[in-house]
A and B are shown apart, each in its own frame.
Chain A
Amino acid sequence: MERIILDNVSKKFWIGVKKNQNSLQQIISLISGREPKKNFFALKEVSFSVHEKEIVGIIGKNGSGKSTLMRIISKIYKKDSGKIFSQGKILPMIGLYLALNPRLTMKDNIFLTGLLVGMSQNEIKMKYKSIVEYAGLGNFENTKIYQFSEGMKQRLAFSIAIHTDSDIYLLDEVFEVGDEDFKKKSAETLRRKAEKGASIIFVTHDLEMIKKYCNKIIWLEKGKIKKIGGKEVVEEYKKQNG
Protein backbone atom coordinates (compact mmCIF):
# COMPACT_ATOMS: atom_id res chain seq x y z
CA MET A 1 0.00 0.00 0.00
CA GLU A 2 1.27 3.46 -0.86
CA ARG A 3 1.54 5.82 2.10
CA ILE A 4 2.99 8.85 0.38
CA ILE A 5 2.84 9.84 -3.27
CA LEU A 6 4.51 12.96 -4.61
CA ASP A 7 3.72 13.94 -8.15
CA ASN A 8 5.71 16.77 -9.75
CA VAL A 9 5.95 18.73 -6.52
CA SER A 10 7.70 22.09 -6.68
CA LYS A 11 8.43 24.70 -4.06
CA LYS A 12 9.93 28.12 -4.53
CA PHE A 13 11.06 30.74 -2.09
CA TRP A 14 11.61 34.45 -2.34
CA ILE A 15 15.17 34.94 -1.31
CA GLY A 16 17.22 38.10 -0.86
CA VAL A 17 19.88 38.82 -3.47
CA LYS A 18 22.47 41.53 -3.75
CA LYS A 19 22.17 43.33 -7.05
CA ASN A 20 23.81 46.34 -8.56
CA GLN A 21 21.45 49.07 -7.53
CA ASN A 22 21.51 52.73 -8.36
CA SER A 23 21.53 55.17 -5.48
CA LEU A 24 17.78 55.82 -5.62
CA GLN A 25 17.04 52.10 -5.37
CA GLN A 26 19.53 51.82 -2.53
CA ILE A 27 17.81 54.60 -0.59
CA ILE A 28 14.41 53.02 -1.19
CA SER A 29 15.52 49.63 0.04
CA LEU A 30 17.27 51.24 3.01
CA ILE A 31 14.13 53.13 4.04
CA SER A 32 11.72 50.30 3.40
CA GLY A 33 14.11 47.73 4.84
CA ARG A 34 13.37 45.53 1.86
CA GLU A 35 16.07 43.88 -0.15
CA PRO A 36 15.69 43.00 -3.79
CA LYS A 37 14.44 39.44 -4.00
CA LYS A 38 14.17 36.71 -6.56
CA ASN A 39 12.48 33.37 -6.97
CA PHE A 40 14.49 30.36 -5.97
CA PHE A 41 13.33 26.81 -6.57
CA ALA A 42 14.06 24.74 -3.48
CA LEU A 43 12.30 21.76 -5.04
CA LYS A 44 11.57 21.23 -8.69
CA GLU A 45 9.21 18.61 -10.06
CA VAL A 46 9.91 15.97 -7.45
CA SER A 47 8.02 12.68 -7.83
CA PHE A 48 8.30 9.47 -5.84
CA SER A 49 6.25 7.23 -3.62
CA VAL A 50 6.75 5.51 -0.29
CA HIS A 51 5.06 2.26 0.68
CA GLU A 52 4.25 0.89 4.08
CA LYS A 53 7.09 -1.01 5.73
CA GLU A 54 9.52 0.96 3.58
CA ILE A 55 12.57 2.85 4.84
CA VAL A 56 13.63 5.58 2.47
CA GLY A 57 16.90 7.47 2.75
CA ILE A 58 17.50 10.88 1.26
CA ILE A 59 21.00 12.04 0.47
CA GLY A 60 22.36 15.20 -1.03
CA LYS A 61 24.63 18.13 -0.29
CA ASN A 62 23.63 21.02 1.97
CA GLY A 63 21.03 23.16 0.27
CA SER A 64 19.83 20.45 -2.06
CA GLY A 65 16.28 20.67 -0.73
CA LYS A 66 16.22 17.75 1.71
CA SER A 67 14.72 19.59 4.67
CA THR A 68 12.29 21.48 2.44
CA LEU A 69 11.10 18.16 1.07
CA MET A 70 10.52 16.84 4.58
CA ARG A 71 8.61 19.99 5.53
CA ILE A 72 6.47 19.74 2.40
CA ILE A 73 5.52 16.13 3.16
CA SER A 74 4.68 16.98 6.77
CA LYS A 75 2.63 20.00 5.59
CA ILE A 76 4.73 22.48 7.54
CA TYR A 77 5.37 24.20 4.20
CA LYS A 78 2.80 24.52 1.48
CA LYS A 79 3.76 23.25 -1.96
CA ASP A 80 3.52 25.63 -4.90
CA SER A 81 2.56 23.08 -7.51
CA GLY A 82 2.16 19.35 -8.02
CA LYS A 83 0.23 16.80 -6.03
CA ILE A 84 0.85 15.16 -2.67
CA PHE A 85 -1.07 12.27 -1.25
CA SER A 86 -0.41 10.90 2.20
CA GLN A 87 -2.26 8.43 4.34
CA GLY A 88 -1.88 8.08 8.08
CA LYS A 89 -0.47 10.10 10.93
CA ILE A 90 2.78 11.88 10.12
CA LEU A 91 5.45 12.61 12.68
CA PRO A 92 8.07 15.09 11.51
CA MET A 93 11.37 15.25 13.36
CA ILE A 94 12.99 18.23 11.76
CA GLY A 95 15.28 19.85 14.27
CA LEU A 96 12.86 18.71 16.96
CA TYR A 97 15.51 18.95 19.67
CA LEU A 98 15.78 22.66 18.91
CA ALA A 99 12.12 23.00 19.81
CA LEU A 100 12.77 21.89 23.40
CA ASN A 101 12.55 24.73 25.86
CA PRO A 102 15.98 25.25 27.43
CA ARG A 103 14.70 26.90 30.61
CA LEU A 104 12.25 24.13 31.47
CA THR A 105 13.03 20.82 33.15
CA MET A 106 13.15 17.60 31.19
CA LYS A 107 9.87 16.54 32.77
CA ASP A 108 8.08 19.71 31.64
CA ASN A 109 9.62 19.36 28.21
CA ILE A 110 8.38 15.82 27.79
CA PHE A 111 4.84 16.88 28.54
CA LEU A 112 4.99 19.96 26.34
CA THR A 113 6.67 18.31 23.36
CA GLY A 114 4.46 15.26 23.77
CA LEU A 115 1.36 17.43 23.37
CA LEU A 116 2.94 19.23 20.43
CA VAL A 117 3.53 15.98 18.58
CA GLY A 118 -0.09 15.06 19.15
CA MET A 119 -0.11 12.79 22.19
CA SER A 120 -2.80 13.24 24.81
CA GLN A 121 -1.99 14.11 28.40
CA ASN A 122 -2.91 10.61 29.57
CA GLU A 123 -0.89 8.97 26.86
CA ILE A 124 2.18 10.96 27.92
CA LYS A 125 1.63 10.05 31.56
CA MET A 126 1.51 6.40 30.60
CA LYS A 127 4.59 6.54 28.41
CA TYR A 128 6.57 9.00 30.51
CA LYS A 129 8.74 6.42 32.25
CA SER A 130 9.47 4.61 29.04
CA ILE A 131 10.43 7.88 27.29
CA VAL A 132 12.92 8.73 30.03
CA GLU A 133 14.36 5.23 30.09
CA TYR A 134 14.70 4.95 26.33
CA ALA A 135 16.61 8.23 26.22
CA GLY A 136 18.81 6.93 29.06
CA LEU A 137 18.26 10.10 31.07
CA GLY A 138 16.86 8.60 34.27
CA ASN A 139 18.77 10.89 36.60
CA PHE A 140 17.87 14.15 34.93
CA GLU A 141 14.10 14.43 35.24
CA ASN A 142 14.27 17.73 37.09
CA THR A 143 17.28 19.14 35.28
CA LYS A 144 16.75 22.06 32.97
CA ILE A 145 17.44 21.39 29.34
CA TYR A 146 20.02 24.16 28.91
CA GLN A 147 22.36 22.04 30.99
CA PHE A 148 22.00 19.11 28.59
CA SER A 149 24.55 18.31 25.91
CA GLU A 150 23.44 18.33 22.26
CA GLY A 151 23.49 14.56 22.25
CA MET A 152 21.25 14.35 25.32
CA LYS A 153 18.75 16.75 23.76
CA GLN A 154 18.72 14.76 20.55
CA ARG A 155 18.17 11.54 22.47
CA LEU A 156 15.29 13.05 24.39
CA ALA A 157 13.62 14.44 21.27
CA PHE A 158 14.03 11.13 19.47
CA SER A 159 12.65 9.21 22.39
CA ILE A 160 9.54 11.41 22.57
CA ALA A 161 9.01 11.12 18.82
CA ILE A 162 9.19 7.34 18.58
CA HIS A 163 6.77 6.95 21.49
CA THR A 164 3.99 8.36 19.34
CA ASP A 165 1.93 5.90 17.36
CA SER A 166 2.47 7.33 13.91
CA ASP A 167 2.29 5.78 10.47
CA ILE A 168 4.91 7.95 8.83
CA TYR A 169 8.13 9.11 10.47
CA LEU A 170 10.17 11.88 8.87
CA LEU A 171 13.61 12.24 10.39
CA ASP A 172 15.94 15.03 9.43
CA GLU A 173 19.57 14.51 10.43
CA VAL A 174 18.75 12.88 13.73
CA PHE A 175 21.76 10.59 13.60
CA GLU A 176 24.31 13.36 13.25
CA VAL A 177 24.52 14.01 17.00
CA GLY A 178 24.64 11.35 19.67
CA ASP A 179 26.92 8.38 20.26
CA GLU A 180 27.25 5.19 18.27
CA ASP A 181 25.31 3.09 20.76
CA PHE A 182 22.28 5.31 20.65
CA LYS A 183 22.49 5.57 16.89
CA LYS A 184 22.38 1.81 16.61
CA LYS A 185 19.57 1.52 19.11
CA SER A 186 17.45 4.14 17.37
CA ALA A 187 18.04 2.67 13.93
CA GLU A 188 16.91 -0.72 15.21
CA THR A 189 13.80 0.86 16.71
CA LEU A 190 12.99 2.39 13.36
CA ARG A 191 13.53 -0.92 11.62
CA ARG A 192 11.09 -2.57 14.03
CA LYS A 193 8.57 0.24 13.44
CA ALA A 194 8.87 -0.36 9.71
CA GLU A 195 8.42 -4.09 10.12
CA LYS A 196 5.18 -3.40 11.93
CA GLY A 197 3.94 -1.32 9.01
CA ALA A 198 5.25 2.22 9.44
CA SER A 199 6.87 4.18 6.62
CA ILE A 200 10.11 5.94 7.41
CA ILE A 201 11.96 8.60 5.52
CA PHE A 202 15.25 9.86 6.83
CA VAL A 203 17.79 12.40 5.78
CA THR A 204 21.38 11.87 6.82
CA HIS A 205 24.94 12.44 5.71
CA ASP A 206 25.90 9.07 7.18
CA LEU A 207 26.05 6.98 4.02
CA GLU A 208 26.76 3.73 5.85
CA MET A 209 23.49 4.09 7.77
CA ILE A 210 21.68 4.65 4.52
CA LYS A 211 23.21 1.58 2.94
CA LYS A 212 22.48 -0.57 5.93
CA TYR A 213 18.86 0.35 6.61
CA CYS A 214 17.19 1.80 3.52
CA ASN A 215 15.20 -0.06 0.88
CA LYS A 216 15.04 2.97 -1.34
CA ILE A 217 17.52 5.79 -1.72
CA ILE A 218 16.81 9.20 -3.20
CA TRP A 219 19.61 11.52 -4.24
CA LEU A 220 18.63 15.17 -4.35
CA GLU A 221 20.64 17.80 -6.15
CA LYS A 222 19.65 21.45 -6.48
CA GLY A 223 16.04 20.62 -5.69
CA LYS A 224 15.70 17.86 -8.26
CA ILE A 225 15.90 14.12 -7.97
CA LYS A 226 19.20 13.13 -9.49
CA LYS A 227 18.82 9.44 -8.93
CA ILE A 228 16.46 7.06 -7.20
CA GLY A 229 17.11 3.40 -6.52
CA GLY A 230 18.94 0.97 -4.25
CA LYS A 231 22.45 0.87 -2.74
CA GLU A 232 24.07 1.67 -6.08
CA VAL A 233 22.86 5.27 -5.68
CA VAL A 234 25.14 5.70 -2.67
CA GLU A 235 28.15 4.38 -4.59
CA GLU A 236 27.52 6.80 -7.42
CA TYR A 237 27.01 9.67 -5.01
CA LYS A 238 30.30 8.81 -3.32
CA LYS A 239 32.08 8.78 -6.65
CA GLN A 240 30.82 12.16 -7.63
CA ASN A 241 31.38 13.80 -4.28
CA GLY A 242 34.71 12.19 -3.50
Chain B
Amino acid sequence: MSNFWSLSYQLAKAEFKLRNEGSYLGILWYLLNPLLTFLLLLLIFEDRLGKGIPKYPLYLLLGIIMFNFFQQATQESVRVIWRNSVIKSLNFPKETLVMSNVLKIIFSHAFELLLFIFVLIIYGNFNSGILIYLIILFFLFIFVYGFSLMLASLSVYFVDLNNIWTFVSRLVWLGTPIFYAVEGQTRLGILNLFNPMYYFITVSRDIIIYSRIPEMWVVLGMMIYSFLFLIAGMFIFNKLKYKFAELI
Protein backbone atom coordinates (compact mmCIF):
# COMPACT_ATOMS: atom_id res chain seq x y z
CA MET B 1 0.00 0.00 0.00
CA SER B 2 2.79 2.42 0.83
CA ASN B 3 4.25 1.64 -2.56
CA PHE B 4 0.91 2.55 -4.15
CA TRP B 5 1.05 6.02 -2.61
CA SER B 6 4.71 6.72 -3.18
CA LEU B 7 4.42 5.58 -6.79
CA SER B 8 1.31 7.71 -7.34
CA TYR B 9 2.99 10.67 -5.70
CA GLN B 10 6.20 10.34 -7.71
CA LEU B 11 4.27 9.95 -10.96
CA ALA B 12 2.23 13.03 -10.10
CA LYS B 13 5.36 15.00 -9.25
CA ALA B 14 6.99 14.00 -12.52
CA GLU B 15 3.90 15.01 -14.51
CA PHE B 16 3.74 18.29 -12.65
CA LYS B 17 7.38 18.98 -13.46
CA LEU B 18 6.85 18.13 -17.09
CA ARG B 19 3.90 20.44 -17.35
CA ASN B 20 5.96 23.37 -16.16
CA GLU B 21 9.06 22.45 -18.11
CA GLY B 22 10.52 25.39 -19.96
CA SER B 23 7.63 27.64 -19.02
CA TYR B 24 8.62 31.08 -17.71
CA LEU B 25 5.36 31.83 -15.98
CA GLY B 26 5.06 28.28 -14.67
CA ILE B 27 2.33 27.89 -12.12
CA LEU B 28 0.87 31.30 -12.95
CA TRP B 29 -0.73 29.67 -15.96
CA TYR B 30 -2.91 27.60 -13.67
CA LEU B 31 -4.35 30.71 -12.14
CA LEU B 32 -4.85 32.49 -15.40
CA ASN B 33 -7.60 30.20 -16.65
CA PRO B 34 -9.89 30.34 -13.57
CA LEU B 35 -9.08 34.00 -13.02
CA LEU B 36 -10.03 35.05 -16.55
CA THR B 37 -13.17 32.89 -16.52
CA PHE B 38 -14.09 34.46 -13.21
CA LEU B 39 -13.54 38.04 -14.34
CA LEU B 40 -15.39 37.52 -17.59
CA LEU B 41 -18.42 35.87 -16.00
CA LEU B 42 -18.45 38.46 -13.24
CA LEU B 43 -18.48 41.23 -15.81
CA ILE B 44 -21.33 39.66 -17.77
CA PHE B 45 -23.55 38.33 -15.02
CA GLU B 46 -23.06 40.37 -11.87
CA ASP B 47 -25.98 42.66 -12.65
CA ARG B 48 -28.18 39.96 -14.17
CA LEU B 49 -28.03 36.35 -12.98
CA GLY B 50 -26.01 37.33 -9.95
CA LYS B 51 -28.36 40.06 -8.81
CA GLY B 52 -30.25 38.08 -6.19
CA ILE B 53 -27.20 36.15 -5.01
CA PRO B 54 -25.43 37.56 -1.95
CA LYS B 55 -21.64 37.83 -2.19
CA TYR B 56 -21.85 36.91 -5.85
CA PRO B 57 -18.11 37.20 -6.68
CA LEU B 58 -17.22 34.67 -3.99
CA TYR B 59 -20.15 32.46 -4.99
CA LEU B 60 -18.92 32.49 -8.58
CA LEU B 61 -15.21 31.97 -7.95
CA LEU B 62 -15.68 29.02 -5.58
CA GLY B 63 -17.97 27.35 -8.09
CA ILE B 64 -15.44 27.86 -10.88
CA ILE B 65 -12.42 26.45 -9.07
CA MET B 66 -14.28 23.44 -7.67
CA PHE B 67 -15.71 22.52 -11.03
CA ASN B 68 -12.33 23.15 -12.62
CA PHE B 69 -10.80 20.44 -10.43
CA PHE B 70 -13.47 17.95 -11.48
CA GLN B 71 -13.30 18.86 -15.16
CA GLN B 72 -9.52 18.88 -15.50
CA ALA B 73 -9.02 15.62 -13.64
CA THR B 74 -11.71 13.74 -15.52
CA GLN B 75 -10.76 15.09 -18.94
CA GLU B 76 -7.16 14.04 -18.48
CA SER B 77 -8.08 10.68 -17.01
CA VAL B 78 -9.73 9.68 -20.28
CA ARG B 79 -6.30 9.60 -21.91
CA VAL B 80 -4.23 8.48 -18.97
CA ILE B 81 -3.97 4.78 -19.88
CA TRP B 82 -3.32 5.56 -23.54
CA ARG B 83 -0.46 7.88 -22.67
CA ASN B 84 1.38 5.34 -20.53
CA SER B 85 2.82 2.62 -22.70
CA VAL B 86 4.83 1.45 -19.67
CA ILE B 87 1.82 -0.80 -19.07
CA LYS B 88 3.17 -2.98 -21.86
CA SER B 89 6.57 -3.31 -20.19
CA LEU B 90 5.85 -3.76 -16.51
CA ASN B 91 3.28 -5.25 -14.22
CA PHE B 92 2.44 -2.64 -11.59
CA PRO B 93 -0.80 -1.36 -10.03
CA LYS B 94 -2.39 0.51 -12.91
CA GLU B 95 -4.62 2.44 -10.54
CA THR B 96 -1.55 4.52 -9.70
CA LEU B 97 -1.75 6.12 -13.15
CA VAL B 98 -5.24 7.41 -12.39
CA MET B 99 -4.39 8.35 -8.82
CA SER B 100 -1.31 10.29 -9.91
CA ASN B 101 -3.41 12.20 -12.39
CA VAL B 102 -5.88 13.25 -9.70
CA LEU B 103 -3.03 14.15 -7.34
CA LYS B 104 -1.45 16.30 -10.02
CA ILE B 105 -4.69 18.24 -10.45
CA ILE B 106 -4.93 18.58 -6.66
CA PHE B 107 -1.57 20.38 -6.77
CA SER B 108 -2.93 22.95 -9.17
CA HIS B 109 -6.21 23.11 -7.28
CA ALA B 110 -4.20 24.16 -4.24
CA PHE B 111 -2.97 27.21 -6.15
CA GLU B 112 -6.48 28.11 -7.21
CA LEU B 113 -7.54 27.75 -3.61
CA LEU B 114 -4.89 30.27 -2.60
CA LEU B 115 -6.33 32.64 -5.16
CA PHE B 116 -9.78 32.11 -3.66
CA ILE B 117 -8.48 32.75 -0.13
CA PHE B 118 -6.89 35.95 -1.39
CA VAL B 119 -10.25 37.08 -2.78
CA LEU B 120 -11.95 36.04 0.48
CA ILE B 121 -9.59 38.31 2.38
CA ILE B 122 -10.19 41.19 -0.02
CA TYR B 123 -13.94 40.88 0.54
CA GLY B 124 -13.43 40.65 4.31
CA ASN B 125 -15.05 37.24 4.37
CA PHE B 126 -12.14 35.13 5.55
CA ASN B 127 -13.06 32.81 8.42
CA SER B 128 -12.41 29.37 9.83
CA GLY B 129 -14.94 27.80 7.45
CA ILE B 130 -12.11 27.39 4.97
CA LEU B 131 -10.62 24.68 7.20
CA ILE B 132 -13.74 22.58 6.78
CA TYR B 133 -13.11 22.74 3.06
CA LEU B 134 -10.35 20.19 3.63
CA ILE B 135 -13.01 17.68 4.67
CA ILE B 136 -15.17 18.53 1.67
CA LEU B 137 -12.09 18.21 -0.54
CA PHE B 138 -11.54 14.72 0.82
CA PHE B 139 -14.99 13.64 -0.40
CA LEU B 140 -14.56 15.51 -3.68
CA PHE B 141 -11.24 13.75 -4.14
CA ILE B 142 -12.83 10.33 -3.60
CA PHE B 143 -15.59 11.16 -6.03
CA VAL B 144 -13.23 12.46 -8.72
CA TYR B 145 -10.91 9.47 -8.29
CA GLY B 146 -13.79 7.01 -8.65
CA PHE B 147 -15.16 8.82 -11.67
CA SER B 148 -11.68 8.98 -13.24
CA LEU B 149 -11.22 5.22 -12.77
CA MET B 150 -14.41 4.67 -14.73
CA LEU B 151 -13.48 7.02 -17.55
CA ALA B 152 -9.88 5.81 -17.77
CA SER B 153 -10.82 2.15 -18.07
CA LEU B 154 -13.83 2.57 -20.34
CA SER B 155 -11.92 4.80 -22.74
CA VAL B 156 -9.52 1.96 -23.51
CA TYR B 157 -12.47 0.07 -24.98
CA PHE B 158 -14.43 3.01 -26.39
CA VAL B 159 -12.03 5.44 -27.95
CA ASP B 160 -14.87 7.85 -28.68
CA LEU B 161 -15.32 8.47 -24.98
CA ASN B 162 -12.57 11.06 -25.17
CA ASN B 163 -14.63 13.27 -27.49
CA ILE B 164 -17.90 12.47 -25.79
CA TRP B 165 -16.65 13.43 -22.35
CA THR B 166 -15.15 16.72 -23.55
CA PHE B 167 -18.61 17.60 -24.83
CA VAL B 168 -20.65 16.20 -21.94
CA SER B 169 -18.49 17.79 -19.26
CA ARG B 170 -19.12 21.15 -20.92
CA LEU B 171 -22.85 20.50 -20.71
CA VAL B 172 -22.52 19.58 -17.05
CA TRP B 173 -20.63 22.83 -16.52
CA LEU B 174 -23.56 24.76 -17.93
CA GLY B 175 -26.08 22.70 -15.96
CA THR B 176 -24.32 23.15 -12.63
CA PRO B 177 -25.21 26.34 -10.73
CA ILE B 178 -21.79 27.96 -11.05
CA PHE B 179 -22.66 31.42 -12.29
CA TYR B 180 -26.37 31.32 -11.45
CA ALA B 181 -28.56 29.98 -8.64
CA VAL B 182 -30.76 26.97 -9.14
CA GLU B 183 -33.37 27.92 -6.54
CA GLY B 184 -36.75 28.58 -8.11
CA GLN B 185 -35.98 26.62 -11.27
CA THR B 186 -37.92 23.39 -10.78
CA ARG B 187 -36.68 21.41 -13.76
CA LEU B 188 -33.01 22.33 -13.40
CA GLY B 189 -33.30 21.87 -9.65
CA ILE B 190 -34.50 18.31 -10.05
CA LEU B 191 -31.82 17.57 -12.66
CA ASN B 192 -29.16 18.80 -10.29
CA LEU B 193 -30.17 16.23 -7.71
CA PHE B 194 -28.41 13.78 -10.03
CA ASN B 195 -25.38 16.01 -10.38
CA PRO B 196 -22.82 15.20 -7.65
CA MET B 197 -20.96 18.45 -8.25
CA TYR B 198 -24.08 20.35 -7.17
CA TYR B 199 -23.79 18.86 -3.67
CA PHE B 200 -20.08 19.56 -3.25
CA ILE B 201 -20.39 23.16 -4.41
CA THR B 202 -23.52 23.87 -2.35
CA VAL B 203 -22.02 22.53 0.87
CA SER B 204 -18.80 24.50 0.33
CA ARG B 205 -20.62 27.76 -0.39
CA ASP B 206 -22.83 27.40 2.68
CA ILE B 207 -19.89 26.84 4.99
CA ILE B 208 -17.17 29.04 3.55
CA ILE B 209 -19.08 31.98 2.12
CA TYR B 210 -22.31 32.15 4.09
CA SER B 211 -21.04 30.71 7.42
CA ARG B 212 -24.14 28.58 7.83
CA ILE B 213 -24.73 24.89 8.37
CA PRO B 214 -25.70 23.21 5.10
CA GLU B 215 -28.88 21.18 4.91
CA MET B 216 -28.44 17.62 6.05
CA TRP B 217 -29.66 15.97 2.85
CA VAL B 218 -27.12 17.89 0.81
CA VAL B 219 -24.28 16.79 3.07
CA LEU B 220 -25.50 13.20 2.95
CA GLY B 221 -25.88 13.39 -0.82
CA MET B 222 -22.27 14.54 -1.10
CA MET B 223 -21.01 11.62 0.98
CA ILE B 224 -23.17 9.01 -0.71
CA TYR B 225 -22.20 10.13 -4.20
CA SER B 226 -18.50 10.09 -3.39
CA PHE B 227 -18.51 6.55 -2.02
CA LEU B 228 -20.88 5.33 -4.71
CA PHE B 229 -18.58 6.55 -7.46
CA LEU B 230 -15.50 5.26 -5.70
CA ILE B 231 -16.93 1.76 -5.39
CA ALA B 232 -18.32 1.72 -8.94
CA GLY B 233 -15.06 3.10 -10.32
CA MET B 234 -12.92 0.52 -8.54
CA PHE B 235 -15.23 -2.27 -9.64
CA ILE B 236 -15.23 -1.29 -13.32
CA PHE B 237 -11.49 -0.59 -13.43
CA ASN B 238 -10.77 -3.91 -11.78
CA LYS B 239 -12.92 -5.77 -14.29
CA LEU B 240 -11.32 -4.14 -17.30
CA LYS B 241 -7.68 -3.65 -16.36
CA TYR B 242 -6.44 -7.08 -17.48
CA LYS B 243 -6.83 -6.21 -21.13
CA PHE B 244 -5.26 -2.74 -21.05
CA ALA B 245 -1.79 -3.90 -22.12
CA GLU B 246 -3.23 -5.72 -25.13
CA LEU B 247 -5.39 -2.86 -26.30
CA ILE B 248 -3.02 0.07 -26.26
Q: Given the known A-B contacts A99-B85, A104-B18, A115-B10, are A76 and B3 also in contact in the complex, defined by CB atoms under 8 Å?
A: no
The 8 Å CB contact of A120, one of B3, B18, B88, B89, is B3
A77 with B10: CB separation less than 8 A:
no
A95–B85 Cα distance when bound, in Å, is 10
B122 sits at the interface (CB 8 A): no
The 8 Å CB contact of A108, one of B17, B86, B243, is B17
The 8 Å CB contact of B88, one of A78, A94, A101, A115, is A94
Minimum CB distance partner of A74 in chain B? B91
Q: Which of A76, A98, A117, A118 has the most CB of B within 10 A?
A: A76
Q: Hey, what's the 0/1 contact readout for B153-177 against A, CB within 8 Å counting as 1?
A: 0000001000000000000000000
Q: How many contacts A-B (CB < 8 Å)?
A: 63
Q: How big is chain B's contact interface, by range? A: 20 to 34
A13 sits at the interface (CB 8 A): yes
The 8 Å CB contact of B7, one of A13, A76, A94, A115, is A115
A117 with B90: CB separation less than 8 A:
yes
B11 sits at the interface (CB 8 A): yes
Q: Given the known A-B contacts A71-B245, A116-B7, A120-B3, are A98 and B14 also in contact in the complex, defined by CB atoms under 8 Å?
A: no
A96–B85 Cα distance when bound, in Å, is 10
Minimum CB distance partner of A108 in chain B? B14
Q: Which chain B residues border A192 with CB–CB below 8 Å? A: none
Q: Which chain A residues border B117 with CB–CB below 8 Å? A: none
Q: Which chain B residues in 203-248 approach chain A with CB under 8 Å?
A: 242-243, 245-246
Q: Which chain A residues border B18 with CB–CB below 8 Å? A: 101, 103-104
Name the distance in Å between B218's Cβ and chain A's nearest Cβ. Answer: 40
Name the distance in Å between B175's Cβ and chain A's nearest Cβ. Answer: 29
Minimum CB distance partner of A144 in chain B? B21
B186 sits at the interface (CB 8 A): no
Q: Which chain A residues border B91 with CB–CB below 8 Å? A: 74-76, 90, 92
Q: Hey, what's the 0/1 contact readout for A114-154 against B, CB within 8 Å counting as 1?
A: 01111011000000000000000000000000000000000
A121 with B90: CB separation less than 8 A:
no
Q: Hey, what's the 0/1 contact readout for A49-91 against B, CB within 8 Å counting as 1?
A: 0000000000000000000000100111110000000000010
B6 sits at the interface (CB 8 A): yes
Q: Given the known A-B contacts A76-B245, A103-B21, are A92 and B89 also in contact in the complex, defined by CB atoms under 8 Å?
A: yes
Q: Given the known A-B contacts A98-B85, A104-B14, are A116 and B92 also in contact in the complex, defined by CB atoms under 8 Å?
A: yes
A52–B229 Cα distance when bound, in Å, is 45
Q: Which chain A residues border B242 with CB–CB below 8 Å? A: 78
Q: Hey, what's the 0/1 contact readout for A194-223 against B, CB within 8 Å counting as 1?
A: 000000000000000000000000000000
Chain A contacts to B: CB under 8 angstroms: 13, 33, 71, 74-78, 90, 92-96, 98-99, 101, 103-104, 108, 111-112, 115-118, 120-121
Chain B contacts to A: CB under 8 angstroms: 2-3, 6-7, 10-11, 14, 17-18, 21, 85-92, 159, 242-243, 245-246
- In the complex, besides A92-B90, A99-B90, A101-B14, 15 extra interface pairs with C-beta distance below 8 angstroms are A33-B159, A76-B89, A77-B245, A77-B246, A92-B91, A96-B89, A98-B85, A99-B89, A108-B14, A115-B7, A116-B7, A116-B86, A116-B90, A116-B92, A121-B6
Which 10 A-B residue pairs are closest in the complex by CB-CB distance?
A: A99-B86, A115-B7, A99-B89, A78-B242, A76-B245, A94-B89, A95-B89, A76-B91, A96-B89, A116-B92
Residue pairs across A and B with Cβ atoms less than 8 A apart, 20 shown, are: A71-B245, A75-B91, A76-B89, A76-B91, A76-B245, A77-B246, A78-B243, A94-B88, A96-B90, A98-B89, A101-B14, A104-B17, A108-B17, A112-B10, A112-B14, A115-B6, A115-B7, A117-B90, A118-B92, A120-B6
